[in-house]
Amino acid sequence: MSTTNGVANRLAKPSAYAAGAVTNDDLALTPQPSPGSATVSFDLPGVFVGTAEYAEGPTGCTVIHVPRGARTAVDARGGAVGMSGGYDFHHAIVLAGGSVYGLEAAAGVSTELLHRAENRTHWAALQHVSGAVIYDFSTRDTAIAPDTALGRAALNNAVEGEFPVGRCGAGRSASVGKIDFSRAEFAGQGAAFGQYGEAKVLVATVVNAVGVVVDRDGTVVRGNYHPETGERHVPAVDYAAATEGVGEARTASGNTTLTVVVTNAKLTDVALKQFATQVHSSMHRAIHPFHTELDGDTLFALTTDEVELRGVNPTGFGALASEVAWDAVLSSVR
């Protein structure tokens, strides 16, 4: 992906905000594959990932499916969280575009899993599915949103051990660096995998932040792109100038970064919750600013409870997973 692909400014006359935008009911939509620009391999047997998109949107969804189920901690922050479910045990997490309308995709996954369970509704057979969404309407001209059909398609496309990255799935129309939307740039979804002894961790993230994406050397690699100078800088520079009456800070609404962390390490309920908080907090190093009132940042931390942590405590493991999270954010824009 080019590093100079600025998103056209749609704040002045955003056609998708006006009456008459095309919706799902206006077209005969067919779910399409959403392979992205690359694939990140991961070694977590029993964890499946699938994507699908409506090219007419364009918008899409991403499903992380754990058929055996996994204990979960949810860390929801920011002022605009869009989520359904939020259970402490999951069989699937569904990430989608389409803002609140995209939550319908999770219902499609839930129904498909019901059928796969031969429609058994005993308490022990219930399939727990949560959904979370990003606001991706500002980069496109339609009101098309992920729906039940797209969610089911993404689940049916799921394969073990591979995570598509780039402008695909829920990140199909994601953007970052919206201090001024004329300087925003496309982002996408990213993933990274780490192994430390027997402990493994996959971090996957859909980056649709008001902030910019920052590399470890402090370089802004995506967002807040100035077409006149070809430069990028952290939004704090613009905010500081605005307080001195130089320029204007027109931070755009409609943002969210969604993250799923999957590990095989056994963690107590308390440790898992703190692990989720620690990793989520660490992501501010890669995204500036993060957890704002204009973001709906949400992280799901899942454990399959397969191996004991050896040689490191949960805090240390959280520190290692936080580095994986930084890599995942960077992969969303490369």
Q: Is 256 a catalytic residue?
A: yes
Nearest partner of 275 among 237, 309, 234, 240, judged by Cα: 309
190, 204 Cβ separation under 8 angstroms:
yes
DSSP one-letter code for 205: E
Cα–Cα–Cα angle for 188, 239, 220, nearest 5°? 35
Provide the CB-side half-sphere exposure for 301 (13 A, CA): 28
Nearest partner of 71 among 90, 58, 96, 86, judged by Cα: 90
DSSP one-letter code for 68: E
Q: Give the list of residues 6+ apart from residue 228 with CB closer than 8 angstroms, or none.
A: none
SS (H, E, C) 10-25: CCCCCHHHCCCCCCHH
| Total residue count of the chain as it appears in this document | 334
Angle of helix 314-331 versus helix 269-282 axis, rounded to 10: 40
Out of 142, 205, 251, 256, which one is annotated catalytic?
Answer: 256
Helix runs in the chain, H state only: 104-116, 148-156, 235-243, 269-282, 314-331
The catalytic residue positions are: 256
